């Protein structure tokens, strides 16, 4: 009878040890998955912000296309982006010190 009890105890101990190792393995995997999920959420937020910025730029470009023939817009672009001036117009430059 003693041998049967020892075998049962050894079997129960081995079963408990196997279960403990399996539970630890699952816990480690869950911890890793949680980190991956957090990383994916951060990336999702960054991409959403990037999409919003690109949508704003797209709207501005669409407005520019809609107003492409507007003389005041053409003049504004010529002055601000190309540095052009009207004939006989005088330009003064100031230098900050």
Is the confidence at residue 5, as pLDDT, over 90? no
- The residues, ordered by sequence, that sit 6+ positions from 67 with a Cβ below 8 Å of its Cβ are 73
Residue 57 vs residue 80, higher pLDDT: 57
Greater confidence (85 vs 91) lies with 85
Specify the higher pLDDT residue, 79 or 20: 20
Q: What percent of the chain has pLDDT over 90?
A: 49
Each residue of 9-33: pLDDT tens digit? 777 888 999 999 999 999 999 999 9
Q: Give the mean pLDDT of 66-87.
A: 87
- Give the tokens for residue 94: 């100031």
pLDDT band at 6 (very low <50, low <70, confident <90, very high): low
CA distance 31 to 21: 15
Asked if residues 85 and 91 have their Cβ atoms less than 8 Å apart, the reply is yes
């Amino acid at each position: 009878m003693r041998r049967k009890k020892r075998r049962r105890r050894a079997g129960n101990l081995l079963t408990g040890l196997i279960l403990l190792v399996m539970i630890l393995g699952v816990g480690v995997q869950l911890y890793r998955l949680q980190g991956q999920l957090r990383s994916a959420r951060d990336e999702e937020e960054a991409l959403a912000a990037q999409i919003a910025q690109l949508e704003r730029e797209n709207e501005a470009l669409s407005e520019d296309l809609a107003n492409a023939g507007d003389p005041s817009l053409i003049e504004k672009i010529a002055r601000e982006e190309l540095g052009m001036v009207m004939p006989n117009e005088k330009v003064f430059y100031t230098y900050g010190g």
